[in-house]
Amino acid sequence: MTSFQAALSTAKIIVILTGAGVSAASGIPTFRAAGGYWRTYESTSLATPQAFRKNPSRVWEFYHYRRDLVSQKQPNRAHFALAEFEKLRPNVHLITQNVDGLHAAAGSEPIEMHGSLFHVRCTSCGDEFEDRTNPICDSLAGKGAPDPDARDADIPLDLLPRHELCQRPVALTSSETGEKICIGGLLRPAVVWFNESLDPPVMNEIRVLLNRCDLLLVVGTSGIVYPAAGFASIVKSNGGKVAEFNLDPSEGADFDFVGPCEDLLPLALGVNV
């Protein structure tokens, strides 16, 4: 702890990367805990453009379930410790892989590199905006149960979330009347799915930070998902130091804090939350 705090006090540019483990204490299941399943599907198999193209109703049930769950949760001491530290120290930059919005709810201004559960994008006109309505459309009310034996709602395309103010409406057959209708584009969650590239400006901003960073804190991530999983080696290759906060020990870190980050972060950062 003392050698870490010495490094913390002399560091010029501190970058903090968080993953699902930072929200675990808020009651949000991590991506890979309990196998990371929703119903009988691996979460990672639903967070893809292919899954959305094949069955937008099932993917929207998955995201409605997560939006509904997160909307009932609060930030925990890990989020508040990071927000407090950012206030106390200049040149601290928070990058999160999480899409739950809890860092912002705790007062941080994170780079949300994988987007947000509460932002949507129109697949027809490309418009992107925040939408916190719950449910986001009537047809999803009461849907999204995560149990393995829960059945798909099979919501017809025209009753899934649609872009009301769409500049490029699409022609569809109404599932209710069978008539031809002109309707706003299908909305999708504005998150980065697997096999989708991150927004180039976001990646550029991150790259600049990592190249200048002399201390990287990696908090609550399994280090499986790229490009986030590659950040520690970038910092180390530039001579920076890496501190890991995880339930499991990690090789290769200069400082390794093993245990719940909601307990260890306030101590390590020297903040009272």
Residues annotated as part of the active site:
114
Q: Are strands 92-96 and 111-112 parallel, antiparallel or unpaired?
A: parallel
- Give the Cβ contact number of residue 165 at 10 Å: 10
Site for ligand BV8 in 133-192 (CB under 6 A): 191-192
Q: How far apart are CA 183 and CA 186, in angstroms?
A: 9
Site for ligand BV8 in 61-100 (CB under 6 A): 97-99
Here the tokens at position 175 are 């599932």
Q: Among the candidate windows 80-88, 130-138, 180-188, 242-250, which touches ligand BV8 by CB under 6 A?
A: 242-250
Q: Among the candidate windows 12-20, 59-67, 156-164, 236-244, which touches Zn ion by CB under 5 A?
A: 156-164
Q: How far is the CB of 232 from ligand BV8 (least distance, A)?
A: 13
The answer to whether 206 and 113 have CB atoms below 8 angstroms apart is yes
Q: Among the candidate windows 2-10, 67-75, 134-142, 259-267, which touches ligand BV8 by CB under 6 A?
A: 259-267
> Does residue 122 interact with Zn ion by CB under 5 A?
yes
Binder among 13, 246, 253, 268 for ligand BV8 (CB under 6 A) = 246
Q: How far apart are CA 21 and CA 261, in angstroms?
A: 8
Q: By rule CB under 6 A, what count of residues binds ligand BV8?
A: 36
Binder among 161, 185, 189, 260 for Zn ion (CB under 5 A) = 185
The DSSP secondary-structure symbol of 253 reads -
3-state secondary structure of 139: helix
Phi–psi pair at 157, nearest 5 degrees: -50, -40
Burial code of 98-136, b = ≥16 C-beta within 10 A, e = fewer? bbbbbbbbbebebebbbbbbbbbbbbbbebeeebeeebb
Binder among 166, 206, 213, 269 for Zn ion (CB under 5 A) = 166
* Binding region for ligand BV8 (CB under 6 A): 19-21, 24-25, 30-33, 44, 47, 97-99, 114, 191-197, 220-222, 224-227, 245-248, 260-262
* Binding region for Zn ion (CB under 5 A): 122, 124-125, 127, 163, 166, 185
